[in-house]
Structure 1
Amino acid sequence: MNDTATSSPETLRARMVDHIQHGFWPACERVADAMRTVPRHLFVPDATLEEAYDDQSVITKRDATGAALSCASTPAIVAMMLDQLDIQPGQRILEIGAGTGYNAALLAHLTGPNGYVTTVDIDPNITGGARRGLDNNGYQHVHVATRDGALGDTEHIPYDRLIVTVGAWDLPAPWWTQLAPGGRLVAPLRWRGQTQSVAFTYDGAQMISDSMGLCGFVPMLGQDGEHTGYVDPDGHVSLYWDEDQNIDTTGLLGICTQPKAATWSGVTVRGEEPFDRIWLHLSATEPGTCRIAADKTATTSGLCTPAVGIRSPAIAENASLAYLTTRRLPDADDARFELGATGHGTVGADLAERLCAQIRNWDTDRTTPPTITAYANNTKPDHINLFTIRKTDCRLVIKF
C-alpha cells in the first residue's frame, strides 16, 4: 500500500477509532460507527490530517495570553461522553458548547433523520465557525444558537439528552427545566479541584449518576465558584478549592517549608496505572479536599512533591495541609510505586493518615465509582449532611 493510501483521511479515521476501542473507555458500536463516518479533519481545517486524527485536542481559539478558549476535544473523551449519553434514534439533543461543530455532527448522526440537535455557545465567532462546518458537511439541519449556555435553549424543549462540552462548575437551573424526566445529562463537572465527566439520569426531581470518567475541559464562562491561591510566597505551589469550603490560603502561606510528616499506605500501583479515583473517595469523606499544583521548580527542589505535579488531591484544614504523593519501590520487579501522603502543619500528620485511609479504601475496589445525587436548590430542602457539596444552583451528595 502506498503512503497516500496509508495516510488517507479514511485510514487515519479508522485507526483513531481502533485506538479508542482499545483504550480506557471503549465506546458502544453505534458511537464507534459515528466516529468512523463523520470526517473530523473537515471541522479542524487548520490542523494537519495527522493532527486531526491523533488522540489529542485541537485548539481552535486562544486568548491574548495563549490560554485555550475553544477546541475540538480529544477523540477518546468525545467517545466516552457520547457513550455515556446513550443516544437513541429520534431523540432531541441539546449541546452546551458548540466548538467546531464536530460533536454536533456526531450527535446528528446518532439521532438519525427523525432526531433534532441544537448546539449553543456564547461566542458568536465559535457559533459562526460551527455553522460553517456543519453546513459544509451536510448537517444543515442542526440548529446553532449564539447564547449563554447556562440558559440552555427553550426553542425545542423538552430535550431527551443534554450534553455539556465545556467545563461546568455548576448545573444551572435552566438545564433542569429543559431536560425531560427520564432524560440524561452528561457534563464535565468540576468539584474539589477535579473534573469528571458525569452521566446523570433525571427523574424529574433529582439527577442520579451511573458513570463517570476523569477529563479536562475549557471552563464555562460565568461560573466562578472555584477559587485559587498560592501557599508558597514565590508562587510555585497553589491550591484550588470551592466557594463552599472554609479554606484560606493566607494561613497556609509558607506551609511547604514547615517540617514534613510522610505517611505510606502500603498500597502500590504500576507506572501507568490510574489512581485518580482516590480523589473521589476524599471528596466523599473529607470537607477540606482540594487540588494542589506544584510547578517544576517546586518539584525538582523538593519543596512540594505531589503524585502528579500539576494536579493532585490534598486536604486543607485550618493552617495544616496534606497531599497525595508517591515513592518508587527499588526492589520491585516492575516499575511499581507506593502511594502515600505528605503533611505539614500542626495536624499535618493526622491529615496524612486520613488521606492514606482513603487510599486504602480505594484499594478495596479500584474501579467502582461513587453515586452522585444532584438536587436542584429550589426543589430540595437543605441536607444535614457534612459532605454535601453546595453550588449555586444545585447540591451534590456523593456516596460509595
Structure 2
Amino acid sequence: MTDAAADARLRQPENGAPGPASGSQAERGAELRAALVDQLRTEGKITSALVKAAFLTVRREHFLPEETPLETAYGFDSSVVTKRDEGGGALSSVSAAYIQARMLEQAGLSPGMSVLEIGSGGLNAALIAEIVGEQGHVVTVDIDPEVTDRATKLLDEAGYGSRVRVVAADAENGVPGRAEFNAIIVTVGAWDIAPAWLRQLAQNGTLVLPLVMNGVTRTVGLRRDGEHLTSTSIEVAGFVPMQGIGRHDERLFVLAGPDGKKITLRFDDGAPVTPAELDDVLASGPVENWSGVVFPPATSWADLYLWLAWYLPGFCRLVAEDSSALEKHGTWFPFGVVSGAGFAFFVTRTAPNGKGVEFGATAYGRDGELAAATLVEQIRAWDRDGRPVAGPSIGYWPTGSDLSKIPSDAAVMEKTHGVVTISWPPKG
C-alpha cells in the first residue's frame, strides 16, 4: 500500500443500511465514484465487468480517515496513510484506486472464489467480497491488531462483516482454518515469497504481490509453471514494507555535503564493503556524463529503473535532505550507484535536438567519473537490449526447485526462500 495524504468523510453503511451521511454527500460520492470508474476504464486499469461493478458499489470514503476530502477518496492515484510509526513513516495505508483496480484484474477473480488478502485496511477486502459474491470466501490478515480492529469495525459497518474474515496474525506463517485459496493478493511490499503462501495457493491459483527487487518494487501476477512461478502481468507501484518475519531492512549510508546538507543512500543489496571511502565524497565534483540515449516526451521509462536494479553493480536509491543541490544538474531521479570512492545519480535533460529527454549521470567523489560511466553504461545497455515493445518476464523458483532449468538468458537474484529471475524478450 502506497504513501499519500490524510483523511475522510462521514460513515454510511453499504448495502442500503442507514447511516449519517447527508443526501448531498452521498450524491457527490456517487458522482465521483462513477467518474473514477470511467477514468480507470479509459486508462485501462479496469478491464472487466466484475471489477467495474465492485468499484461502482463500494464507497471508498467509508474506509478512509474521517477528514479525507471526497476528491481525495476518489482520486485516481491518491493513496491515504491510515497509520504511521513514531518517525512519521507509513505503517498502513489505503492504496490508490488505480493500483487496487490493477491488482484485482491481475488476480483474475470470479464469483465463488476463495481469496486471501495479506495486509488489511477494509476497502480492498470489500471490493474482493463484491467480486467473489455471497458464495465466495474472503480472508484478510494483518500483523497489527490495531489495523485489523479498524478493518473489522469498518467492514461490519459497511455490511461485509459476515462475508470477510479478519485475522490478526503474521501471514508469513500462513492462515489457519483454510487449506488453500484460488488467489492470494499481497498489499504490502514483499521482499520474498513465504513458503506458506505457496502451500495455501491452489494449483491453478494466482499470486499477486508487490515484489521488492533490489529496492525497486513491481506488482507481479504469478501462476505456477511446473515447480516454479511465472509472471502473467507486471505493474508499477509502491507499497509500505512488510512487517514481521518477512521484513527486510535496508542498509543506509548518509553523505554530508560541504554545506551540511545530507543525501541518504538506501541499499537493498550490494552495499559498499568499505563505506569509509564515501567520507567527504560530496566535496569533490560534480562531473557529468551523458549517454546519448533519448526518450520521447510524456513516455514512461519505468523499465529502465528495473533494469538498473538488476544489472547495475552498487545500485542504490537516494533521498536528499535538500534537493536544490541536485536539481542544478538537470532533472534528477532517486536512483544512483556507488563505485569505489564515487557516487553518481540518474539525471535527464532536454535532448540536444529539443525532442524528448536525454539520460545521463551526475557524479561526485574521487571515483566520480567511474561511477558516472558505470551508470551510463547500463543506460546504454538497456537501450540496446532491454527496451523492447514487450516488458520483462519475472519468475520465482522456490528452494528445492531444479535451478538448472532456469533459462540461460535470465538474470538471477537470490532471496531467502528461493530465487527471482528476470529476462527480457529479444528486440525484433
TM-score grouping bracket, smaller chain normalisation: 0.7 to 0.9
Q: Does the Cα contact within 8 Å between 1:165 and 1:188 map onto a contact in 2?
A: yes
Paired position in structure 1 for 2:6: none
Q: Is the 1:172–1:394 contact (alpha carbons within 8 Å) kept by the matching residues of 2?
A: no
Structure-1 separation of matches of 2:291 and 2:43 = 29
Give the Cα separation in 1 of the matches to 2:142 and 2:223. Answer: 24
Q: 2:131 aligns with which of 110, 121, 125?
A: 110
Q: Secondary structure, in 3 states, of the residue corresponding to 1:110?
A: helix
Residue 324 of structure 2 aligns with an amino acid whose one-letter code is T
Does residue 1:277 correspond to 2:300, yes or no?
A: no
Hey, what does 2:415 align to over in structure 1?
Answer: 391
Match of 1:135 among 156, 161, 178: 156
The CA deviation at 1:107 is 0.8
- The residue matched to 2:86 in structure 1 has which SS? coil
Structure 1 pair 245–160 and aligned structure 2 pair: CA distance change class (3 A) = farther
Q: Aligned to 2:256, what secondary structure does the other structure show?
A: coil
- Which region of structure 1 is more displaced relative to structure 2, 158-167 or 265-274? 265-274
- Displacement, 1:199? 1.1
Any conservation in 1 of the 2:270–2:313 contact (CA below 8 Å)? no
Matches within 5 A, 1:350-365: 350-361=373-384, 364-365=387-388
Residue matched to 1:228 = 252
Residue 355 of structure 1: CA displacement?
A: 2.5
1:243-254 alignment runs, 5 A limit: 243=269, 249-254=275-280
For residue 70 of structure 1, report the CA deviation from its aligned partner: 1.2
Q: Is the 8 A contact 1:38 1:105 kept in 2?
A: yes
C-alpha distance 266-173 of structure 1, shift in aligned 2 (>3 A): same
SS of the residue 1:87 aligns to: coil
**Partner in structure 1 of residue 317 of structure 2:** 291
Sort the Cα spacing of 1:249 and 1:30 in 2 relative to 1 into closer, same or farther, 3 A.
farther
Q: Deviations over 1:115-143 (max 9, x none)?
A: 11110001111111111111222212211
Distance in 2 of aligned mates of 1:179 and 1:204: 14
Q: For 1:159 and 1:326, locate their aligned partners in 2 and report how far apart those are by CA, in whole Å.
A: 45
1:361 is displaced (CA, Å) by 3.1
Structure-2 separation of matches of 1:170 and 1:132: 31
Q: In structure 1, what is the equivalent of residue 80 of structure 2?
A: 58
1:13 is displaced (CA, Å) by: 0.5
SS in 2 for 1:350: helix
Q: Select 1:170's aligned residue among 183, 192, 196.
A: 192
For 2:279 and 2:255, the matched residues in 1 are separated by: 4
Q: 2:218–2:236: 8 Å Cα contact kept in structure 1?
A: yes
Name the amino acid aligned to 1:138.
Answer: G
Structure 1: give runs of 5+ residues left out of the alignment. Answer: none
Q: Distance in 2 between matches of 1:210 and 1:250?
A: 43
Amino acid at match of 2:251: H
Moved more, 139-148 or 52-61: 52-61
| Alpha-carbon offset, residue 235 of structure 1 | 5.8
Please name the residue that 1:93 is paired with.
115
Q: Match of 1:217, SS?
A: coil
Give the superposition deviation at 1:380: 4.7
Match of 2:358 among 338, 341, 366: 338
Q: Which shows bigger deviation, 378-387 or 354-363?
A: 378-387
* Structure 2 residue 293 is matched with structure 1 residue 267: yes
3-state SS, counterpart of residue 145 of structure 1: strand
For 1:378-400, what per-residue CA distance to the aligned partner results, in whole angstroms no more than 9, with x for missing partners?
44559899942112222111111
How has the CA–CA distance of structure 1 residues 28 and 263 changed in structure 2, closer, same or farther, with 3 Å as cutoff?
farther
Q: Does the CA contact (< 8 Å) of 1:5 and 1:11 recur in 2?
A: no
List aligned pairs for 1:196-207, cutoff 5 A. Answer: 196-203=218-225, 205-207=227-229
User: Which residue among 281, 304, 324 is the counterpart of 1:255?
Assistant: 281
Contact 2:312 2:374 in 1 (8 A): no
| Alpha-carbon distance change, 362 to 265 in structure 1, aligned in 2, over 3 angstroms | farther
1:284-303 deviations in Å (ceiling 9; x for gaps)? 433433323334x2x32248
Name the aligned partner's letter for residue 236 of structure 2.
L
User: How many residue pairs end up in the alignment?
Assistant: 390
Task: State whether structure 2 residue 40 is matched by structure 1 residue 20.
Answer: yes
Deviates more, 1:371-380 or 1:235-244: 235-244
Q: Distance in 1 between matches of 2:310 and 2:101?
A: 27
1:43-95 deviations in whole A, cap 9, x for unaligned? Answer: 22512323321231122122223222211111111111111111122211111
1:225 CA drift (Å) = 4.2
Distance change in 2, residues 1:66/1:84 (3 Å):
same
Task: Label 1:317 to 1:337 Cα distance change in 2 as closer, same or farther (>3 A).
Answer: same
Equivalent residue, structure 1, for 2:16: none
**CA distances 1:17-62 after superposition (whole Å, capped 9, x unpaired):** 1222233644433212211111111222512323321231122122
SS at the partner of 1:388? strand
Paired with 1:386 and 1:185, the residues of 2 have a C-alpha distance of 21
For residue 160 of structure 1, give the secondary structure of its aligned residue in structure 2.
strand
Superposition deviation, residue 6 in structure 1: 9.7
Amino acid at match of 2:243: L
Distance change in 2, residues 1:380/1:147 (3 Å): farther
Q: Which runs of 5+ in 2 are unaligned?
A: 1-22
Offset, 1:372: 1.1
Aligned partner of residue 14 in structure 1, secondary structure: helix
Q: Given the superposition, is the C-alpha separation of residues 24 and 78 from structure 1 closer, same or farther in structure 2, using an over 3 Å criterion?
A: same
SS at match of 1:31: helix
Q: Displacement, 1:196?
A: 0.9
Cα distance in 1 between the residues matched to 2:328 and 2:184: 40
**Equivalent AA in structure 2 for residue 242 of structure 1:** D
RMSD (CA atoms): 2.9
Task: State the 1:200 CA deviation.
Answer: 0.9
SS of aligned partner of 1:279:
helix
Alpha carbons of 1:303 and 1:71: their partners in 2 closer, same or farther (altered >3 Å)? closer
- Determine the structure 2 residue equivalent to 1:374: 396
Deviations 1:179-218 (A, max 9, x none): 1222111111112221111111123621111221221111
Partner AA of 1:277 in structure 2? D
From the superposition, tell whether residues 114 and 193 of structure 1 become closer, same or farther in structure 2 (CA, over 3 Å).
Answer: same
Where 2:277 maps in the other structure, the secondary structure is helix
Q: 2:263 aligns with which of 234, 237, 244?
A: 237
